[in-house]
């Protein structure tokens, strides 16, 4: 796919309008990435150890995405390349309870953690069951300051997206940008002869199935991203992204015209690890202030 083909998605707007749109996008993307306040204490990666009564320690990472009432997450570290998907996550202001399970070479593995938050530390007890054997554990996890440990560094490359991801998106029903809270899978495959992948979405919204096609392109020289979504509504969402930071991508869409109004979507994609990322969407109508639209959490399946 060439830049000429991408430009064809812009529709029938005049050349002058296109130049104005592109100038606005380039100016916006040239600005430093915005720092959006994160008041929720839970999302992110927590690292530490799980210890048994016999003094055996295992280094683990707990990664949480989403927002209250809609968290998703994984625990890694029990085996190379092995993830334990969390099936239940409950929080209060200072308490976190998680449950998860996975199949291993030694039989079914299940865990339950009950943790207390103290500033940047999570600690508490839990129980792990492997096959027919269960044992109690203590857990100590920390989200350290950047000065102490660097944030996860994900290599910027189009291959990051390749494969299948499950997702949960919690957001408003706001045509033409969003059909509402939804879930499903998106599977990306390489497009030959270019730095692009194409993803097929199979999802569910309000109990009904829907499908979409997403195309992503990445220019390593400029670390810029082109994101195109052929939405289930028949609309096309086109965005330019800035991936100069290995921990996040900022996007701004080409204005979408509907019912004589212009809609712009702004997206922050937090690239938390090789196996998960989260998105926060905001929108503006006719140049007005940006408002929150929704949040999505994506976890790699393969």
> Of 28-32, 42-46, 199-203, 249-253, where does mean pLDDT reach its minimum?
28-32
Pick the CATH number of 3-31+153-300 from 3.40.190.10, 1.20.1290.10, 3.40.50.300, 2.40.128.20: 2.40.128.20
- Which residue from 297, 71, 273 is spatially nearest to 169, judged by alpha carbons? 297
Percentage of the residues of the chain whose pLDDT score is greater than 70: 82
pLDDT computed for residue 14 by the predictor: 39
The predicted model gives 237-257 an average pLDDT of 92
The answer for residues whose C-beta is within 8 angstroms of residue 76's C-beta and 6 or more apart is 60, 61, 63, 82, 83, 84, 275
Percentage of the residues of the chain whose pLDDT score is greater than 90: 53
Locus of tokens 């103290």: 118
Domain spans, the chain = 3-31+153-300, 44-142
pLDDT computed for residue 288 by the predictor: 93
- Residues 129-166 have pLDDT tens digits of 887 788 899 999 998 544 444 455 688 999 999 999 99
Does position 24 have pLDDT exceeding 60, yes or no? no
pLDDT computed for residue 155 by the predictor: 86
Q: Are 254 and 266 in contact (CB under 8 A)?
A: no
The total of other beta-carbon atoms located within 10 Å of residue 166's CB is: 16
Cα–Cα distance measured from residue 270 to residue 278, given in angstroms and rounded to the nearest whole number: 5
- What does pTM read for this prediction? 0.55
Does position 171 have pLDDT exceeding 70, yes or no? yes
SS (H, E, C) 56-112: CEEEEEEEEECCCCCCEEEEECCCCCCEEEEEEEEECCCEEEEEEEEEECCEEEEEE
pLDDT computed for residue 37 by the predictor: 43
pLDDT: is 14 or 288 the higher one? 288
Tokens of 50: 């799980």
**Domain 44-142 belongs to what topology?**
Lipocalin (2.40.128)
Instruction: Give the CA dihedral 241, 299, 245, 66, nearest 10 degrees.
Output: 90
Instruction: Using CB atoms within 10 Å of the CB of residue 265, give its burial: 0 to 12 exposed, 13 to 18 middle, 19+ buried.
Output: buried
The predicted model gives 256-284 an average pLDDT of 91
- Residues 68-114 have pLDDT tens digits of 878 888 888 775 556 788 889 999 989 999 998 887 766 788 899 99
> Of 104-118, 191-205, 274-288, where does mean pLDDT reach its minimum?
104-118
- Which residue from 228, 233, 212 is spatially nearest to 1, judged by alpha carbons? 228
């Amino acid at each position: 796919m060439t830049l000429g083909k991408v430009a064809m998605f812009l529709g029938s707007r005049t050349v002058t309008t296109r130049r104005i749109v592109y100038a606005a996008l380039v100016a916006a993307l040239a600005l430093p990435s915005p720092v959006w306040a994160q008041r929720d204490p839970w999302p992110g990666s927590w690292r530490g150890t799980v210890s048994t009564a016999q003094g055996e320690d295992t280094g683990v990472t707990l990664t949480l995405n989403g927002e209250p009432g809609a968290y998703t997450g994984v625990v890694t570290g029990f085996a190379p390349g092995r993830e334990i998907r969390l099936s239940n996550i409950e929080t209060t202001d200072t308490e976190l309870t998680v449950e998860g399970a996975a199949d291993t070479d030694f039989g079914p593995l299940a865990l339950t953690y009950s943790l207390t938050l103290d500033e940047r530390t999570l600690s508490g007890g839990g129980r792990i069951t492997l096959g027919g054997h269960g044992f109690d554990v203590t857990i100590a996890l920390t989200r350290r300051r950047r000065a102490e440990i660097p944030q996860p560094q994900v290599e910027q490359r189009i291959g990051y997206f390749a494969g299948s991801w499950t997702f949960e998106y919690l957001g408003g029903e706001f045509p033409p940008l969003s059909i509402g809270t939804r879930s499903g899978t998106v599977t990306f495959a390489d497009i030959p002869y270019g730095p692009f992948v194409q993803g097929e979405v199979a999802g569910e919204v309000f109990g009904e199935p829907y499908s979409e096609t997403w195309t992503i392109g990445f220019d390593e020289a400029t670390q810029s991203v082109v994101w195109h979504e052929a939405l289930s509504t028949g609309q096309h969402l086109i965005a330019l992204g800035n991936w100069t930071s290995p921990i996040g991508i900022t996007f701004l869409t080409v204005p979408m015209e509907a019912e004589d109004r212009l809609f712009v979507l702004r997206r922050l994609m937090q690239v938390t690890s090789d196996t998960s990322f989260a998105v926060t969407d905001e929108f503006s109508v006719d140049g007005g202030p940006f408002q929150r639209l929704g949040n999505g959490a994506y976890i790699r399946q393969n």
